[in-house]
């Protein structure tokens, strides 16, 4: 991977007393690789099998994600129960526009990441090396209870990629499920097959970041490979019941050409179908990409129009004020079903049956996704703009 490899951490960084430290837990997705050096018959590495990065670690090394490390010949997760913070967000902020629109979601993440995006918009968390000072402790049970008490419909595994805190995310998802809370992932989809199966067995919805549609962009700008992400998208759509939406952050000059957007949307329609919502969101200069200007709104509008012309039915713009690009429309008659500007809802024209199927109130055409009558009724009764405000929480 360009520029970064497995990171050796200094001796006194090595976590001690892990048998008493609840944030260090053993893991199962790794295997031992024997040394081919006949001079060192006892030497070996352990390969992490969580993501296609496949880090091979000597004793005391951390993987590229920084949070999985080799201790006593095995791979451990070092951030179990450690969070970089909690907030209550509107579900539209993830972004998910067809999964209980208008509901609130308890968002949390840990630290580290298995990609190395030069344009990372969350780099203070994903690149964090200060886990002791940064994080608050919260058990899976505590998170599920916090979500329940604060009236959240879902918990989101977000801010950094839940792939790397696999064991913590899965235990939390199980605790949430037991309390009737849905689980929502925000991920780059760069994950190996077996952990992927375990993870999506616990999720209800996901937004996958499809960062571009060229291998060159993936390798040079993120250090990952496009093919593995496309495999994850196909897996979610065809082999799970998890609700899927996709986001692409458009970076001027790097992944926003007409040809690339056309190829991406053609692939989505062919492989995933026209009903998967696609969000084009605006980049702002950050991390190692300070020299590129913010994405103009016109670029998002152009991308949306290419995707709609190609046949995708639900295409959104994000991170900008754009009522037209933020709203959900009936693909059959064109009526606005859910009006939005940024994360703010201002119109609701959907009928919802007892099975949670949303239909256009004008022509009855089904809008795919998961809906509830609660929000629509509440919204209409208030007769005003209703949106969940962002709130920061302490565990
Ligand atoms: S999760 Fe990925 S980046 Fe982290 S140690 Fe495992 S293979 Fe490496």
Q: Whose CA is nearest to atom 6 of ligand 1?
A: 48
378 in a domain, yes or no?
A: yes
The confidence score (pLDDT) of residue 186 equals: 97
Q: Whose CA is nearest to atom 7 of ligand 1?
A: 54
Residues 257 and 138 in one domain: yes
- Closest Cα to residue 110, out of 137, 90, 92? 137
365 in a domain, yes or no?
A: yes
Least confident of 79-93, 122-136, 305-319: 122-136
Domain that holds residue 213: 82-393
DSSP string, 349-387: -EEE-TT--EEETTT--EE-SB--HHHHHHHHHHTS-B-
Ligand 1 atom, smallest distance to 62 CA: 5
Contacts for 32-35: CB closer than 8 Å, 24+ residues apart? 32/73
The confidence score (pLDDT) of residue 6 equals: 39
CA of 68 to the centre of ligand 1 (A): 6
The confidence score (pLDDT) of residue 75 equals: 95
Task: Provide the mean pLDDT of the chain.
Answer: 88
Domain termination residue (choose one: 44, 62, 77): 77
CA of 112 to the centre of ligand 1 (A): 10
Residues 164 and 63 in one domain: no
Name the range with the highest mean pLDDT among 18-32, 68-82, 221-235, 381-395: 221-235
How many whole angstroms separate alpha carbon 284 and alpha carbon 363?
Answer: 39
Q: Whose CA is nearest to atom 2 of ligand 1?
A: 51
Residues 321 and 246 in one domain: yes
Ligand 1 atom, smallest distance to 47 CA: 7
Ligand 1 atom, smallest distance to 164 CA: 1
What confidence tens digit (pLDDT) does each residue in 331-377 have? Answer: 999 999 999 988 888 899 999 988 889 999 999 999 999 998 766 55
Whether residue 325 contacts residue 316, with contact meaning beta carbons closer than 8 Å, is answered with yes
What DSSP designation does 233 have?
Answer: H
What 3-state class would DSSP assign to 370?
strand
Residues with CB under 6 A from ligand 1: 48, 50-51, 53-55, 63-65, 68, 114, 164
Q: Read off the CATH number of the domain in which 247 is found.
A: 3.20.20.70
2 in a domain, yes or no?
A: no
Domain termination residue (choose one: 49, 77, 105): 77
Ligand 1 atom, smallest distance to 114 CA: 3
Residues 251 and 319 in one domain: yes
Q: Is the pLDDT of residue 3 over 90?
A: no
24 in a domain, yes or no?
A: yes
How many whole angstroms separate alpha carbon 369 and alpha carbon 362?
Answer: 18
The confidence score (pLDDT) of residue 277 equals: 98
CA of 191 to the centre of ligand 1 (A): 9
pLDDT band of residue 9 (cuts 50, 70, 90) is very low
Ligand 1 atom, smallest distance to 63 CA: 5
Residues 89 and 59 in one domain: no
The two three-digit tokens of residue 296, written as one number = 């103009």
Q: Whose CA is nearest to atom 5 of ligand 1?
A: 63
Task: Give the total number of structural domains in the chain.
Answer: 2
Residues 24 and 125 in one domain: no
Residues 62 and 88 in one domain: no
pTM above 0.85, yes or no: yes
What DSSP designation does 191 have?
Answer: -
Distances (CA, A) of 166 to 67, 96, 221, 248, 359: 11, 22, 24, 24, 36
Average pLDDT of 253-275?
98
The two three-digit tokens of residue 373, written as one number = 């009558």
Average pLDDT of 117-139?
70
CA of 113 to the centre of ligand 1 (A): 9
Identify which of 33, 46, 52, 55 to mutate to test ligand 1's pocket (most ligand atoms within 8 A of the CB): 55
102 in a domain, yes or no?
A: yes
Whether residue 148 contacts residue 179, with contact meaning beta carbons closer than 8 Å, is answered with yes
CA of 166 to the centre of ligand 1 (A): 11
The two three-digit tokens of residue 21, written as one number = 């430290």
Average pLDDT of 80-88?
89
CA of 391 to the centre of ligand 1 (A): 32
pLDDT band of residue 4 (cuts 50, 70, 90) is very low
Ligand 1 atom, smallest distance to 190 CA: 2
Ligand 1 atom, smallest distance to 52 CA: 7
105 in a domain, yes or no?
A: yes
Higher model confidence: residue 288 or residue 389? 288
Residues 248 and 132 in one domain: yes
What confidence tens digit (pLDDT) does each residue in 156-201 have? Answer: 999 899 999 999 999 999 999 999 999 999 999 999 999 999 999 9
1 in a domain, yes or no?
A: no
Give per-residue burial for 181-208: e unless 16+ CB within 10 Å, then b: bbbbbbbbbbbbeebbeebbebbbbbbb
What confidence tens digit (pLDDT) does each residue in 286-321 have? Answer: 777 788 999 999 999 999 999 999 999 999 999 999
How many whole angstroms separate alpha carbon 79 and alpha carbon 56?
Answer: 19
Q: Is the pLDDT of residue 131 over 70?
A: no
Q: Is the pLDDT of residue 133 over 80?
A: no
CA of 47 to the centre of ligand 1 (A): 9
CA of 55 to the centre of ligand 1 (A): 6
CA 124 to chain centre: 17
Residues 96 and 124 in one domain: yes
Residues 289 and 341 in one domain: yes
Residues 56 and 130 in one domain: no
Residues 41 and 110 in one domain: no
CA of 69 to the centre of ligand 1 (A): 9
- Closest Cα to residue 126, out of 195, 36, 188, 194? 188
155 in a domain, yes or no?
A: yes
Domain termination residue (choose one: 77, 100, 121): 77
Q: Is the pLDDT of residue 1 over 60?
A: no
């Amino acid at each position: 991977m360009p520029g970064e490899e497995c990171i050796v951490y200094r001796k006194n960084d090595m976590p001690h007393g892990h048998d008493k430290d609840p944030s260090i837990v053993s893991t199962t997705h790794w295997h031992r690789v024997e040394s081919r050096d006949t001079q060192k018959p006892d030497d070996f590495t352990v390969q992490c099998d969580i993501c296609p990065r496949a880090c091979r670690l000597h004793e005391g090394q951390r993987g590229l994600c920084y949070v999985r490390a080799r201790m006593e010949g095995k791979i451990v997760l070092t951030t179990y129960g450690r969070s970089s913070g909690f907030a209550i967000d509107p579900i539209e902020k993830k972004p998910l526009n067809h999964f209980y629109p208008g509901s609130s979601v308890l968002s949390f993440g840990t630290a580290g990441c298995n990609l190395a995006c030069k344009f990372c918009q969350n780099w203070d968390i994903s690149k964090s090396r200060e886990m002791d000072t940064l994080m608050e402790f919260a058990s899976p049970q505590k998170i599920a209870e916090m979500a329940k008490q604060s009236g959240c419909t879902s918990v989101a595994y977000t801010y950094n990629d839940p792939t790397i805190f696999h064991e913590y995310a899965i235990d939390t998802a199980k605790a949430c499920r037991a309390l009737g809370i849905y689980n929502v992932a925000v991920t780059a989809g760069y994950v190996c097959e077996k952990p992927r199966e375990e993870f999506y067995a616990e999720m209800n919805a996901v937004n996958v970041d499809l960062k571009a549609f060229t291998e060159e962009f993936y390798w040079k700008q993120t250090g990952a490979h496009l093919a593995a992400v496309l495999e994850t998208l196909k897996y979610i759509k065809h082999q799970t019941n998890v609700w899927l939406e996709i986001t692409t952050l458009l970076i001027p000059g790097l992944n926003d050409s007409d040809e690339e957007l056309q190829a991406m949307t053609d692939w989505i329609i062919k492989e995933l179908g026209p009903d998967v919502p696609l969000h084009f969101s605006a980049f702002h200069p950050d991390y190692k990409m300070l020299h590129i200007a913010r994405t103009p709104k016109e670029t998002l509008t152009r991308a949306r129009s290419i995707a709609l012309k190609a046949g995708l039915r639900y295409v959104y713009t994000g991170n900008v004020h754009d009522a037209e690009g933020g709203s959900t429309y009936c693909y059959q008659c064109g009526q606005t079903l859910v009006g939005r500007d940024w994360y703010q809802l201002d119109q609701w024209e959907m009928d919802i049956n007892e099975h949670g199927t949303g239909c256009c109130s004008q022509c009855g055409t089904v809008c795919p996704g998961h809906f509830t009558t609660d929000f629509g009724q509440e919204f209409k009764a208030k007769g005003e703009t209703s949106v969940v405000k962002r709130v920061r929480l302490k565990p």
